[in-house]
Every structure is written in structure tokens, then in C-alpha cells.
Amino acid sequence: MAPSIRACLAPVFITSIFANLIHAATVTYDFNITWVQANPDTAFERKVIGINGQWPIPTITVNLGDRLVINVNNQIDQDTSLHFHGLFQKGTTHMDGPDGVTQCPIIPGSSFTYNFTVDQPGTYWYHSHSKGQYPDGLRGPFIVLDPENPFVDQFDEELVLTFSDWYHDQMPKLLADFMSVTNPTGAEPVPNSALMNDTQNLTIPVQPGKTYMFRMINMGAFAAQYVWFEGHTMRIVEVDGVYTEPTEADMIYMTAAQRYSVLVTTKNDTSANFAIVGSMDQDLFDAIPEGLNPNVTSYLLYNESKELPTPAFVDEFDPFDDMTLAPEDGLDLFDNVDYSFNLDLKMDNLGDGANYAFFNDITYVHTKVPTLFTALSSGKDAENVAIYGSNTNSFVLNKNDIVEIVLNNNDPGKHPFHLHGHNFQLVVRSEDEAGAYGNNATGLPRKPMRRDTVLVRPNGHIVLRFKADNPGIWLFHCHIEWHVASGLIATMIEAPRELQETLHVPEDHYAACRAAGVPTEGNAAGNTVDFLDLTGENKSPDLLPAGFTAKGIVALVFSVLAAFLGMAVIAWYGAAPITSGELAASQRRVEESSVVEK
């Protein structure tokens, strides 16, 4: 099975149509969320979450400045929502997507419209932000074309190359097994395989002496991938929507949710074909299952009559360090920090025996009222962090403050951290085992690299800075989907009083809440009278009793917990019937309003 990249990536070739238009179009997609059968690694057929009866799901393609309208109709038997990863959603925090935070779930059989303008160029992706769902297939590329791309003269053609880990089991089962007393160490499920463009052994026809821009996206649930092009050097020109000073790299380490645009110039002769390799970082896996192939290979196809080479074996990895990148716009370091806070990360067991993830000893638990609606309904209490609940790691940010997050990773794992609504300057990143940040860094980069997802090393730290210029509710979380489930989430409540004055939430968002039985007023506990009274709020399980180890508690609570977990899972995933709807073909419409030909 070796589909050509053209078949997979048709939307990208719309580039030439748009190149001579000046923006202000409205692009509309009708997305019916549907189950589809797929077998992308040719090892196991399973059901996946598709769109309009298709999987892989469509690439969303817009021009910088376009308005995007996505009409979602949920035709599967699970709640859903869509997040547009990396888009700032300036003025439209209610379109950001996290179920239970900025919106209510889109329940089975119901509809919901996302509608916002896109003011950032570059490479993004979209994915479900509901109950660990996206690794079941509901994730795809989101490309914002920019006629003013500073590198537009330096490449001949652009292509999207997605990377992903892949599981044969469905997420509801994997999540239940992961968050369980039977998994007290919190070992994450290991993927069954790796994919590129949702397949393997993809051949990409190329011509000699040309330059291609590959928009690379890691849409995986868990695994970072080392990426290299045999026999070719990459020139990085964009990370996570930020143009960079062109920088050469032979190997890139791409965590879950990161993106890199790289220019690759082909050779002048066509005597051989070359492998493109993605290799999952096996340091992340607690145990390596026998027979796991951590690699996925594609090929630069120069010559169809030549063989496809077997990639050279590599087990020493020396990837490019993204700290050394500089933003093309030359934005200076934010050096007057108004508000700095620490997030100390650890993993530990709670009284139910499962393994949780914590910031500052608090693991995230969803609130009874989505946090955005708490902010909108709380009047002047909106600036009191207590109303957002004691299990949300909420921080209230003042408009235009320079905010600094110091994240100390007290865990031997690598974690990719993502902030919604912003990108951030990566000011400090320690090596492995450096311990907590001592507030003593010298020689900070004058023009630090900015991005929206960043790696923190094992038992190390990172320091991030951003300007709170985007009123809204923005999650900050580890982008390993297992750690979202185990609670590694904090919540930025940015300029909530301004939000109350400026945000208009459309009626269909309230309808979604009514349909789901979720209130849209009140504090985290749903109290609309006394916002400071959190009685009845959702809380994490209690701490383990002193003297108990996680393993010791297994035998004790197993039977009780098994029953309890079973019930919880049923409540989570619902038993609502699948609505029978017609599967429309993937529909994309463009209405040009005030479009001017150059």
C-alpha cells in the first residue's frame, strides 16, 4: 500500500489558486463526525473516528485572514469537540474547543458551529479535545497559507507530512486500563506502530534540483519522533506557526503536537531514491513490546525504476536543539516579568490506587460548570481564583502582563507542554536531571525562540514567558494524551472582567450545554448564589493512607474499584444511540467577500 502523496494531500495544492487573492474569504466546512473502518499500518483493521465517512480526515486549508466556519454534526456514540491547535482565537476563546472548559460537549446526534477568523500563518492541526478521543483518529492538519510568507521564493512546492503513533485498541478501553488500580505505576500504553500521513511506506514523487517545503506535524497521542531525510539536509523555516531564521538540521526531535516546516532541496540526479524516517522515542515507553517497530519510513521518489532503499539502522540520536532557533520577526525577550509562578510536576498515586499527574500537588478534575461560563457569570468575583475550583490549577492573569511559567519536572519522563491561546518564549530549558529552576539563569537568549509546544527534559525545568494580551480561558497541559487523562493540566483565566464585557457566546453553544445537561452559570461547583462556596465541587480521590504503597493497595481495593471504575466509564462514554445520518461527501465552500486580485 503506497498511495502517492498527491492523493493524500489534495487540499495543499489549492495553494496556487489562493496565491493571487487577497484575503477576506469565508471558508465553510461541513463535518459529520462518523465511524470509519481503517487499517493504516496494514496490521490490524479497526474502527476510527472519521469525517463525512472518510479517514484520514480532511486537511483544513485557509488563507491568512479568512473566516473559517465549521459545522459539526456528531454522528458517533461519544461526546466530541474540536480544538484548533496553535490558533490564538483572539476574541473567540469560546471557539477554542476543550470540552468542559470553553464549551460543553457536542453530544451524540447534536450539532455545533465553530466560527472564527484566522490571523496567523503557518502549520497547525485540529483535534478532538474531549475525553482522550483524538488518538482514535479525530486529528488532522490545519494549514494557513500566507502570500507574504518570507520564504515563498525559496521553494517550488509545499507538502504536508504528518507523523503519528498508532494504537490498535480504542481509547476508551486504553484509558480505563491506564487510569486503574491495576496500573499503579502509571505505565502508558505503548503504541502498536508509527505512521506518516496515516500510512506507511509512502512514496513522494520529487523532481531533481527543486526545493520542497515539508510542513511536518506530530499528531500522535504520546510518542515524540526523531525525523530525518537520508542524504538530505533540512532547513527549518517555521516552528509551530512562527517563522524562524533559516537553520540547518540533520535530525529533528518532534514531540506530540509540535510542527516544523523544513525546506529540502533535492539532488540534481535521479539515480537513487531516499528514505524519510520517523522513529518513535522509545525512552518514553516503560516496556518495549516484543516485535515493536518504532520506525515509519517514507521515500523521496526520484526514479520509479530504482529500488526503495532500506534505511540505515540508527540507535544513537543527536537531534537539533530547538532552543537555538531565532524567530524571523526578531521579537526581543520579554524581560520585565509582571507575574511569575511555578508549576511543580510530579506523578503519584491517589487513594483509588491509580496513578495521577500533579502540578503543585493538585491533579486536574473537570468542573461542574465549564470554566468559561464560570468566568462569564461571576461578575466581579471573576478575578477571585477560588471560584474556578480547587482541582483546576487556575491562575488569574491581568491584561497585558508579562507572565512567566517556571515548570519543574520532578519526574523521570519527558513531557511536551502546550499553552492554548498563545505561543511563548522559551527562555530556559535545562538538561536532564538538573533539578528545579533556581531563578538564577544568566545569559538568557535576547531573541528567544517562540512556539506553542515545548519539551521539558527528565527531572529538568523550563521557563516560558508570554504576554497576556488575549482575554480568555486557556489550558496549559502536557500534550501526552495519557497525562491529560491523569490530570496534568493548569488553567489560565486571562482578563476575565474584560471577557465579560466583550465576549458574545452564540446561542448554539448554550443549546449544546442544555442538551448535555451542563449548567452555564455558577462557580466550579455550580453555585450561582455564593460564588465562594465550593461545596459539592468535583474533587480528585483522597490521598493514599499513610504507610500504603500503591502496590500494597492493589489487593485491598481491587474489587471495589473494578465496580466503581466500570460505572465511571459508562458515565463517561455514554450509551446514547448512534444517530443515523446521511454521510455527505467532505464539503468545503469558499465565498469570496471583497476579494481583490493582485
465 binding ligand C2O? (CB under 6 A): no
Do residues 315 and 214 touch, judged by C-beta distance below 8 A? no
Length of the chain in terms of residues written: 598
Single out the segment in contact with ligand C2O by CB under 6 A; choices: 141-149, 275-283, 474-482, 578-586: 474-482
Q: Which residue, 97 or 496, is less far from ligand C2O as judged by CB?
A: 97
Shortest distance (Å) from residue 42 CB to ligand C2O: 28
| CB-based closest residue to ligand C2O | 85
254 binding ligand C2O? (CB under 6 A): no
Identified binder of ligand C2O from the candidate list 34, 61, 110, 127, rule CB under 6 A: 127
For residue 135, whether the previous peptide bond is cis, meaning omega lies within 30 degrees of 0, is no
Q: How many residues bind ligand C2O (CB under 6 A)?
A: 11
Shortest distance (Å) from residue 589 CB to ligand C2O: 26
Sorted by sequence, the CB contacts under 8 Å of residue 424 that are 6+ apart come out as 405, 450, 451, 452, 454, 464, 465, 466
259 binding ligand C2O? (CB under 6 A): no
* Helix residue spans in 357-426 (DSSP H): 371-377
Shortest distance (Å) from residue 416 CB to ligand C2O: 10
Binding mask 76-115 for ligand C2O (x = CB under 6 A): -------x-x------------x-----------------
Distance CA 475, CA 493 (A): 9
Q: Which residue, 160 or 276, is less far from ligand C2O as judged by CB?
A: 160
Identified binder of ligand C2O from the candidate list 477, 490, 509, 512, rule CB under 6 A: 477
Q: Which residue, 263 or 405, is less far from ligand C2O as judged by CB?
A: 405
Here the cell at position 81 is: 469537540
Single out the segment in contact with ligand C2O by CB under 6 A; choices: 352-360, 369-377, 408-416, 471-479: 471-479
Phi, psi of 560, rounded to the nearest 5 degrees? -60, -45
Sorted by sequence, the CB contacts under 8 Å of residue 555 that are 6+ apart come out as none
Cα atoms in the Cβ-side hemisphere of radius 13 Å centred on 414: 22
Q: Which residue, 127 or 429, is less far from ligand C2O as judged by CB?
A: 127
Phi, psi of 142, rounded to the nearest 5 degrees? -135, 110
Sorted by sequence, the CB contacts under 8 Å of residue 175 that are 6+ apart come out as 131, 132, 482, 485
Shortest distance (Å) from residue 284 CB to ligand C2O: 18
Shortest distance (Å) from residue 565 CB to ligand C2O: 25
Sorted by sequence, the CB contacts under 8 Å of residue 532 that are 6+ apart come out as 381, 384, 386, 387, 523
Identified binder of ligand C2O from the candidate list 420, 422, 429, 451, rule CB under 6 A: 420
Q: Which helix (H) or strand (E) holds 341?
A: strand 339-349
509 binding ligand C2O? (CB under 6 A): no
**Residue 552, SS3?**
helix
Binding mask 7-36 for ligand C2O (x = CB under 6 A): ------------------------------
Q: Which residue, 235 or 422, is less far from ligand C2O as judged by CB?
A: 422
DSSP letter, residue 318 = -
Q: Which residue, 127 or 366, is less far from ligand C2O as judged by CB?
A: 127
483 binding ligand C2O? (CB under 6 A): no
Torsion sign (Cα): 308, 312, 314, 318: negative
Footprint of ligand C2O (CB under 6 A): 83, 85, 98, 127, 129, 257, 418, 420, 475, 477, 479
